[in-house]
Amino acid sequence: MEKVGMLIDTTLCIGCYACEDACAERWGFPTTPDAPHELSAIKNTAVQQWDDVYVPHLCMHCEEPTCASVCPVGALKKTEVGPVVYDSDKCIGCRYCMQACPFQIPKYQWGKLNPKIMKCDMCYPRIQEGKAPACVEACPVQARIFGPREDLLQEAYKRIRENSGNYYPRIYGVQEAGGTSILYLANKPFEQLGFKTNLPQHPLPLLTWNVMSKIPNYVFWAGTLLGGIWWITKRREEVRQYERKLKKTDEQNHG
């Protein structure tokens, strides 16, 4: 199967947030109308407004993802068809991926006793079933289109060529950090829309490998430490609940 991707044309996005709702339904996230339109541990796609332009954001699914290169246990990996997926069963909570991501995408469930990293997986299970990502399917104006990455590139170049007055002559994601599976079109320079435009054009894992090759020796101790912290936190909560139960019983007995 060819590598797939997504082309987001910000000139078409109308800010209806249907993509956010579809994504929330797919992940089982709560939908709160007044919630900030920004990526979080309960929002894997978000539409932000920059003056008169709406810009959808999600994981960029890098061609050579830095998050996967720094993960010492292989919890993140680039699939053969394009999406970068996450295996929470392998994750030890080191959060190297959050530090390494050039787009600052992965978010951490800080409020949970057994926290996970949250990020878009381009609806990989749906792709395996031959379906498009939920956000693409939900868009009423086709501001997001899904398909083979090479086809999307050709479509983007075609739109710029045939309607040059409507587009800034650049496709974001072609070279940024070595290239991404998510591509963008806009009607103005991308830095004016909050995009990072000073990223290197080569894959960032080339810079991280020498450092990460020295990490496996410490994985056991890191995992032990993090596991211990989680156990202590969980135990404290259990103790608090037990004390509240005793207090309630005592009040009832002396009521």
Residues 139 and 249 in one domain: no
pLDDT of 248: 63
Q: Give whole-number Cα distances, 157 to 13, 51, 97, 161, 185, in Å.
A: 19, 25, 32, 6, 10
Residues 231 and 155 in one domain: no
Number of domains observed in the structure of the chain: 2
Residues 158 and 143 in one domain: yes
Residues 111 and 193 in one domain: yes
**Any bridge partners for residue 182, and if so which?**
6
pLDDT of 218: 47
Within 13 Å of residue 178, how many CA atoms lie on the same side as its CB? 14
Residues 226 and 145 in one domain: no
Residues 150 and 165 in one domain: yes
Residues 208 and 226 in one domain: no
* Among 220, 224, 228, 229, CA closest to 73: 220
- The residue type at 238: E
pLDDT of 206: 58
Residues 119 and 176: their CA atoms lie apart, in Å, by: 19
- Which stretches in the chain have pLDDT values below 70? 1, 205-255
Note down the domain range covering 100: 4-212
pLDDT of 201: 85
Assign residue 106 the CATH number of its domain: 3.30.70.20
Backbone dihedral region of 65: left (phi > 0), alpha (psi from -120 to 50 degrees) or beta? beta
Residues 129 and 20 in one domain: yes
Residues 130 and 246 in one domain: no
Residues 149 and 232 in one domain: no
Residues 184 and 231 in one domain: no
Residues 70 and 73: their CA atoms lie apart, in Å, by: 9
* Among 56, 63, 17, CA closest to 184: 56
Residues 91 and 185 in one domain: yes
